[in-house]
Amino acid sequence: MLTGAGTGYFRGMAGTTHTVTNQPPPLTGYDVFGADHALTAAVERHLAPGLLDEVHSELSALGQSAGSAQLQEWGAQANENPPRLRTHDRYGHRVDEVDFHPAWHRLLGKGVAAGLTAAWARPGGHVRRAAAFVVWTQVEAGNLCPLSMTHAAVPALRTDPALAAEWEPRLTSMIYDRELRPARLKAGSLFGMGMTEKQGGSDVRANTTAARPLAADGEYELTGHKWFCSAPMSDGFLVLAQAPGGLTCFLVPRVLEDGSRNVFLIQRLKDKLGNRSNASSEVEFDGTWARRVGEEGRGVPTIIDMVAATRLDCVLGSAGLMRQAVAQAVHHCAHREAFGAKLADQPLMRNVLADLALESEAATTLALRLAAACDEGGEQERALLRIAVPAAKYWVTKRCAPVVVEAAECLGGNGYVEESGMPRLVRESPLNSVWEGAGNIQALDVLRALRREPHALNAYLQEVGEARGADHRLDGAIKDLLTELSDLDGIETRARRLTERLALVLQGSLLARFAPPEVADAFCASRLGADGGPTFGTLPHTLDLNAVVNRARPTN
């Protein structure tokens, strides 16, 4: 038994075991937009001066909301309480409804109110929406799916002026109306899409869903299934089906004009790796009413602009995930001490953080450049998008997962704990690479553009040529790319390699023109030169890594 001085010692230690030291404060209470120097610079670069004050105020308000503890809690709640399918009501009637946690509806409502479906109706709409998309992804990525599809449905509907006149005002509305009722009675509507089937996947021409014409012109009855239909509680869906004239695009409303439910049988919800707040479903059509969009047999050309828009959103979403992961890593390391110094001040950790920051800034800069091309809309910009969108979708979405995993490692064991939020980012990080066409589909799409649309390559080369002479490593990379493009032997086998180089050269060109010199220098040295390794944290020690890390700190 301990007595005397011994017991006094332990009495003096009472309560000290739970003293918390050397832990960073939560990354809350900040402006997600204003703290992102790469994003704010891109918005200022691509918007007309007369719009800047209005848009900056709008995005800053969204950024402050996104950086609040309240919204971060809603994001966690939406993922911890995934949607539930109710196929029947208590009496046995088929209802096919999905119940979401209230946090999901709050986030979705704020996303609609922030203009994430309104790009087509606002000046500078694509750039301001793209910046908002990057910001909002950092709160919770699942609710971006219906917002993305609603935004992307507009160009497909414009192939039918009557349908566009009816639906576009609803889709670009900034009012969220969650009730299932006829669209004409709603202040705003959301859209989904269904293209893939279990037997075909990305090969949509293998679809078997049949469309039988009805008496009224343009009206059809669908019978078949869709293997992946996200956001099944949307007001309408663009789907592909085989009409007598071939694969055709159709609009399927969830609720018919008379208020009755269309036949939209939700068979089950997918149990996904990430994106768990969002309902992704398998659905069946059995005499489902649909309206044709575009001509029979022109389904893929009709829906292709929708696909391009959702692919760009995959780039924006991955840029947002990378930015949040890097912000968390830099924030943690700026406050955490080890071996007598802040982690961010230790040379090796500074190298890792700088390398991650380069990847994030390159992704953001490229994504906003593509959004600006959508706003410009001229022939040259459309030609650039034809190559740049699939190349960016391929590369940026593939870089997302390793960036997020490395950023989580910067937090050590803390980054492996759910409360840190990093595991949710890790689970989300591969998604955009898979959705809207996986890597091989994007690489083959790049080859298709090179073969069929020579003006697309000319637009790309003109764009990267704007930085010629700015960096000798960039000049060398452009020269090597031209050599590779001149050799068509085994081109399909080399499609991934070629697509990667197209994306990296474009990123290097943009950074050389618009980023601070230390950022452009580090990117060109490590990504276009030979002075970088396959893992993060292998930047040459001669670079100004301190400046790169400081630029990435999430402070306003």
The arithmetic mean of pLDDT across residues 489-498, rounded, is 93
Scanning 487-541, the segments in alpha helix (DSSP H) are: 495-514, 517-523
Q: How far apart are CA 313 and CA 147, in angstroms?
A: 10
Q: Where are the domains of the chain?
A: 46-297, 301-552
| pLDDT (tens digit per residue) in 504-544 | 999 999 999 999 999 999 999 999 998 888 999 999 999 99
Considering just the CA atoms, what is the radius of gyration of the chain in Å? Answer: 25
Position 6 scores a pLDDT of: 54
**C-alpha–C-alpha distance, residues 70 and 28, integer Å:** 9
270 near 142, Cβ under 8 Å? no
Q: Do 46-297 and 301-552 have matching folds?
A: no
Contact 323, 364 (CB under 8 A): yes
**If pLDDT is split at 50, 70 and 90, which confidence band does 11 have?**
low
Please state, rounded to an integer, the average pLDDT across all residues of the chain.
Answer: 94
Q: Which residues contact 446 (CB under 8 A, 6 or more apart)?
A: 387, 390, 391, 394, 495, 498, 499, 502
pLDDT band, residue 7 (cuts 50/70/90): low
Tokens of 107: 């986030």
Tens of pLDDT, residue by residue over 322-342, are 999 999 999 999 999 999 999
Give residue-wise pLDDT tens across range 106-164: 999 999 999 999 999 999 999 999 999 999 999 999 999 999 999 999 999 999 999 99
- What percent of the chain has a predicted confidence (pLDDT) above 70? 97
pLDDT classification of 12: cutoffs 50, 70, 90: low
Q: Note the CATH number of domain 46-297.
A: 2.40.110.20
pLDDT digits (tens, 9 = 90+) for 233-271: 999 999 999 999 999 999 999 999 999 999 999 999 999
Residue among 290, 270, 289, 295 at smallest CA distance from 280 = 270
- Take residue 440 and report the two structure tokens written for it: 């091989």
Residue 120 is classified by DSSP as G
Question: According to the CATH classification, is domain 301-552 in 3.40.920.10?
Answer: no
Give a three-class secondary structure readout of 174-231: CCCCCCCCCHHHCCCCCEEEECCCCCCCCCHHHCCCEEEECCCCCEEEEEEEEEEEEC
pTM: 0.95
* pLDDT tens for each residue of 57-86: 999 999 999 999 999 999 999 999 999 999
Burial of 484 (0-12, 13-18, 19+ CB in 10 A): middle
